[in-house]
Every structure is written in C-alpha cells, then in structure tokens.
Amino acid sequence: MPIAIAEEHLALADSVRALVAKVAPAEVLHEALETPLDNPPPYWRAAAEQGLTGVHLAESVGGQGFGILELAVVLAEFGYGAVPGPFVPSAIASALIAAHDPDYPLLAELAAGTSIAAYAIDSGLTATRLGEVLVIRGEARAVPAAGQADVLVLPVAIDSGEEWVVLNAADLEIEPRVSVDPARPIADVRANAIEIGDDRVLTTLSRARARALMSTLLSAEAVGVARWCTDSASGYAKIREQFGRPIGQFQAVKHKCAEMIATTERATAAVWDAARALDEATAGDPAATQHEFAAAVAATLAPVAAQHCAQDCIQVHGGIGFTWEHDTNVYYRRALALVACFGRAADYPQLVVDAATSTGMRGIDIDLDPQTEKLRGEIRAEVDALKALPGGPERNAAIAEGGWVQPHLPRPWGRAASPIEQVIIAQEFSAGRVKRPPMGIAAWLIPSIVAYGTEAQQQRFLPATFRGEMIWCQLFSEPGAGSDLASLTSKATKVDGGWRITGQKIWTTGAQYSAWGALLARTDPSAPKHQGITYFLLDMTAPGVEVKPLRELTGNAMFNTVFIDDVFVPDDMVLGEVNRGWEVSRNTLTNERVSIGSSEPAFLANLDLFVEFLADGQFDQIEQNHAGRLIAEGHAAKLLNLRSTLLTLAGGDAMPSAAISKLLSMRTGQGYAEFAVASFGTDGIVGDPDTPSGRWAEYLMGSRATTIYGGTSEVQLNIIAERLLGLPRDP
C-alpha cells in the first residue's frame, strides 16, 4: 500500500497521481534526460494551483496548513512518477524554513510557486561574525536544483556549531555539474564573502531536526521510486513469456518481485511513521518522542529499497531493461541520485543504534478518535470488575463467559466487537494487567469451530477452550505434505456411525499435552487434490492415537509425530461438510499466519531483548551499522502490523500485510540471534543456558524453525506475489 492509508490521504494521493500522470508522462521523463527542462518546469504552475507547493505550509503564508505526513504523501507520488525538476528539493527547503518559523517572509513566495528553493544536507560553508553581520565563505558541492533555485537553505559552520541559513542564489557562484540523474540537475555552490544578517539564520532549527526532516522527505520520494519499480517489474512479469509461459510463473522471478514489494512495504511503513512523528513533535504533543529515531529508521530502509528495487526491476525486464529508451533507466538514475542525497549511508544505522540504546525507540500504539472514550470507559469498568475477581478458574470463567478472549467473534463466543472495540479491549486488558486465558494453537482453531461447527460442537468445545481448560493441537502436516498441504495422504474410510482414519502427522506442536486435535484427512481419493479432504475433531486419547515427541535441533520437544492407526471418529466430529475440509482449513491457516505475523514467541529473541543486549555490550562501527539495520527492520515490522490493524479498522483486508509481516519479522528475529552469537567470539561455543552466550545460542537454534512453520518463507513469497502482485500461479 502507499504511504496514505487514511481516507483523506488516499484522496490526496489520487489527486497528485492524476496530476503527475498528466504532466510527466514517459516521453517527458526521457526528454529530461537529453534536454534541460525549462525553469520553472511546465508543470510548476499546475502544481502550485493545486496547492502542492504549499501543502505543508501555514495558511498564514498562503499554504494549505497541513503537515509533513501530507507532504510525504505528495513526494511519494512525485517519486512514483520520477517527476523531473526541482519540486522535491524546493519542498524540502521550504519545510526546513517553516520548521524555524512558519511565518517566515519567503514562505509566501514558495507556497505560491513564484519562487523555487534548494537545500544541501552538508557543506563546507563557514561564517565569520563582524558585528551584526555574518560573512559566509566556502563551498557546498553537488546541491540538487541549485541552478534552478532563487534561494538556497544551506548548513553553515557558525561559531562552534552548525546552523542552516537562507541565501539568495543571485549572491552565490553556481557552477552546474553533470548529474547521474540529468532530470534532477545539480550544481556546486560557492560563497565568496557574502554578508547576511541574523534574520537569515534559522536559529530554532536544530541540526537533528533538520536532518530528520530532510531524511524523512527524501525517504518519501524513495519509496515512491521503489513502488514504481515493483509495479513495473510485476506488470512485465505477467505478460512477458519465455519457455511457453509468463516469466512471473517461474518461482525465481515470482520471489524476486515478492521481495521487492516486501522491501517497499517495510520502508513505506517507516516513512509513514517518521512523518507522523515529525508532525507530533511540531504540534508539541507531550507524548511525541523519538522523531529523530523514526527518521533514522526511514533513512536506513528507504534509499536501500529504492536502489535494490530499481536494480531488480532491470533484472526482471532483462535486456530491454538495460536500454536507454526504457523507463527503468529513468528510475534507476533517480534511485542512485536519491541515495547520494542522503549523505553517508552508514550515519543512519548509527543514529538508530544510538537512539535505541540511550533515549529509547519510538513507541508504537494506535491513536483512536476521542469519540471512543465513552466506549473505553465502559470497557475499562468491566475489566476492573474482572480484575477484582479472584485469579484462576473463577476469573477465567468470567472472562470466557463475557466473550473477552476473542472479542471479534459473534456472541455468545465473543462480543461481535468492531475492530476499534477490539483495539480498546486489548489496550485495557494490557493496561489493567488482566491476563486472558492462554489459547495457544486453539486461537487459530476457534474461529473455524465458530464458523463451521454445529451447535453441539460449539457447546462442547468452546466454553472449556475459552476458559483455558482444553488444549488443542493442529494435525495438518505430514511427512510428505508440509508446505504442499493438499498432498496429504491420511485416509478416512466411512463406516457405520463415523470414520476410520489411518495416517501419520508430523510437526504437531504440543500434541503430547493436547486433549483434542484438528485433523485433516482424505475422504475421497478420486477427487482433485484440493477436494475430497475433510476436517475432523480428534480425541487425542482415542485408541489408536500414538504421540511421539520429536526432539528438535534445540534439544527440546515442542513438535511431535502423531501416528493414527485405524482410529474411529464419529460423524458428529466432522467440522463443516464432508469433502469440503480444505475450505475450513484455509480459515484456520489464515488465522495462523495473521497470528504468527503479529506476535513475538517467548522462545525467540525480540527487538527489546536485542536492544538491551546492545546497550550492555561494546561493538565496533561495522557491528553497530549491522545492528542499526536490524533494529530498523524490526521496528518497521512492528509498524507493518500497526498499519495492518489500521487497515482493518478501515474495513480492509489484513491478510496480505500479515504475509509480509510474517516473512520479514521472522527473518529479522533470526538476525538478532545471529548477530549476538557472532559477537561472543570464541565464547559463542558456550552453550550453558545460564550464560549470555548460551541463552542467545538457544534463541539462534530455535529461530531456524520460524521461517518454516506457519508456511515457509518460500510459500509466503508465493502468497505475496500471487495475491498482492497478481502474478500467475504455478501450473
């Protein structure tokens, strides 16, 4: 999804996209590679009339009065269109000025589009104070759009610090340079004893805030580039045929495209949050913290996403993608130019580490409409009443009977809670420190029993399960049917009053502790692969059921092999219709993948543990750079879950986002443990769980399962490619 997820932001994105498509079609982009654009560009007046040059500027200077998030939405669309010319540099420069003083006199001209600005992220400019005058000397190199600008916002070393100053282009020596992206011209800027007053110094704009603004807005353009590259590559993969079929059907191409959208979505989530954080800080929100951390996360992920996606886009297009005439040329050049505009790439992961281990990471929570406070008050009162009950069975029974365990379910099993109500319930139970009965794997199975179970099945199983008294396992995978679950061979034969089932299940979590299991077996061997399967509820104490714990790589036995030898299952233990079990299982698997994508299992390292580990150790710059990237990836994975929740609140489908979240968060979790164990050096061989190296070794070994269970990473890539990008399914 784009940066925009709120209705008003989606409308803004649509309007900008329509303008960009009109004023910057492919022929205009290619012409800009050969011939310098007019200054201002032909589209400038249309953009100004639409309010885009001042979307983030105060109404008092003729702007639209919106914030950095709205500007980020605009710049992402300009990135998607690879719009040539100085629009993005000018918008960033005006944002820097407005951060100092929203009523600064020059902003009226910038909002109206009658003036163009440029900025530099670093420079060699210095200032000497002579009375009330500052004398500026030095050079700023490779400044984007400097040759098109009327004013430039440049960093200058003043006294013992650095300040951004506003200089008139007419007072500077501007020497055009050859840009790797001819559509985004650059120039060296020299100041030869230019005299300015203090009114030209942006004294209230700190270096940290300036960097956060610049990197966030550059990141917005970068994710637009990454999104175009992803769309272009997947679009081409659908129609380009080789070896008699579309190349998007080949798993290598399919997975490359899926990796592109996953990388883009993660970076987009980071940019969205960084822009929100800047707006919160501007508004003086006392809860707004760590906008510098959020901006550094975005800058760690977005330029990499733009460059990698542009490179992969060329790869998917093959030879045609390496031609001057193809649009991939335009976008790769823009990506390379953007990466350079961030300055030293290593700076941003370092900022991430420094912030995470000192002041802390930015909190992730959902801000709800104030109108929901009445509902919150009602829920809080009920949670308080539950808390007042004696703990254990009595409280668990009350929680279960109140529908609090899975409140989204229909009554009487849940509360038919809307998405907003679900969020409030989760927040209030957490704030009140009231634990709901643990469901374990039953959390995935319960919705299927509610959706497909008979009334007798529901009454028999759900109350006890909600109270935490009945443990379940999932008997799906087989030695020959893991990711390809529909290839299962466990056989169910109809007999008087029920079914006789024989087969073997494997990787069954918690089977040795479970009273009941959800079992898939083939009831019609002659039916097509995904048909003729039935979903059964199996009594794990029934004669013929044998559970053998399967010792894993970790030395523990969380998984099991379950042998089912001519086990009788009565007709009333069929869930749903006979031979329609695949439909029921898809409901279960969807809940499983959403749950895995949004959770952090206790036996694995998580982001908080990783940051705590970093804070307690000593690491060189290379290690800190690596750690910063892992923190950025982990934080952005949480943001993906947050955006997925917000999308659900808006009535959207969270499943595709959950697939991306599962893919990325599991990989990053493995990365935490790999980093930690490697940092111990020779002590990494010590496996004593009471030692730091031993604990992290356990995390590392346990993490190998995370990219397998719940659908392997390769299966997730197929799901992402086929459902999000529309690539053709395997034959």
Distance from C-alpha of 351 to C-alpha of 628, rounded to nearest angstrom: 8
Q: Is the peptide bond before 689 cis (omega within 30 degrees of 0)?
A: no
CA–CA separation, 622 vs 643, rounded Å? Answer: 32
Q: What is the signed CA dihedral for 392, 397, 403, 409, rounded to 10 degrees? A: 90
Residue 369's identity, in one-letter code, is D
For residues 629 and 645, what is the distance between their CA atoms, to the nearest angstrom? 24
- Asked if 270 and 288 touch (Cβ cutoff 8 Å), the reply is no
SS3 content of the chain, % helix, strand, coil (to 5): 55, 15, 30
Residue 1 confidence (pLDDT):
65
Nearest residue to 83 via CA among 338, 353, 409? 338
By the 8 A CB rule, do 690 and 684 touch? no
Could you give phi then psi for residue 436, rounded to 5 degrees? -85, 150
The strand pairing partners of 578, in sequence order, are: none
Reference 125, options 114, 140, 145; nearest CA is: 140
Print the SS3 string covering 589-655: HHHHHHHHHCCCCCCCCCHHHHHHHHHCCCCCHHHHHHHHHHHHHHHHHHHHHHHHHHHHHCCCCCH
CB atoms within 10 A of CB 613: 21
H or E element that contains 302:
helix 291-317
Provide the 3-class DSSP secondary structure of residue 137.
strand
Structure tokens at 44: 């400038």
Token digits of residue 116: 């163009």
Q: Are 165 and 136 in contact (CB under 8 A)?
A: yes
8 A C-beta contact, residue 711 and residue 662:
yes
Q: Given this model, what pLDDT does residue 539 score?
A: 97
**At 235, which helix (H) or strand (E)?**
helix 207-239
Beta 186-196 vs 133-144: how paired, if at all? antiparallel
Are the beta carbons of 190 and 199 closer than 8 angstroms? Answer: no
66: tokens are: 């919106």
From 587, 436, 430, select the one nearest 520 (Cα to Cα): 587
Q: Which helix (H) or strand (E) holds 130?
A: strand 125-130
Q: Rounded to whole angstroms, how far apart are CA atoms 270 and 295?
A: 8
Closest to 542 in 3D by CA, of 517, 561, 506: 517
Phi, psi of 615 (to 5 degrees): -65, -25
Domains of the chain: 7-116 (1.10.540.10), 119-200 (2.40.110.10), 466-586 (2.40.110.10), 595-623+635-724 (1.20.140.10)
Check whether the bond before 412 is cis (ω within 30° of 0): yes
C-alpha distances in Å from residue 573, one per residue of 69, 521, 537, 582: 53, 13, 5, 16
> Pairing between strand 125-130 and 151-158?
parallel
Give the integer Cα–Cα distance in Å for 634 and 625. 14
Exposed/middle/buried for 24, CB within 10 Å: 0-12, 13-18, 19+? buried
Is there a contact between 293 and 208 (Cβ–Cβ < 8 Å)?
Answer: no
**Rounded CA gap, 390 and 434, in Å?**
11
- Give the pTM: 0.88
* Three-state DSSP class for residue 243: coil
Q: Give CA–CA dist 518/465, Å, rounded.
A: 13
Report the chain (731 residues): mean pLDDT per 10 consecutive residues. Answer: 82 96 95 93 95 97 96 97 97 97 96 97 93 93 96 93 95 96 97 94 93 97 98 96 93 96 96 94 62 96 98 97 96 97 94 94 78 88 93 93 92 88 86 88 91 96 95 93 85 96 94 96 92 95 96 88 97 96 82 48 84 93 96 93 75 68 90 95 90 92 84 86 90 74
SS3 44: helix
Determine the Cα–Cα distance for residues 508 and 440; give it in Å rounded to an integer: 13
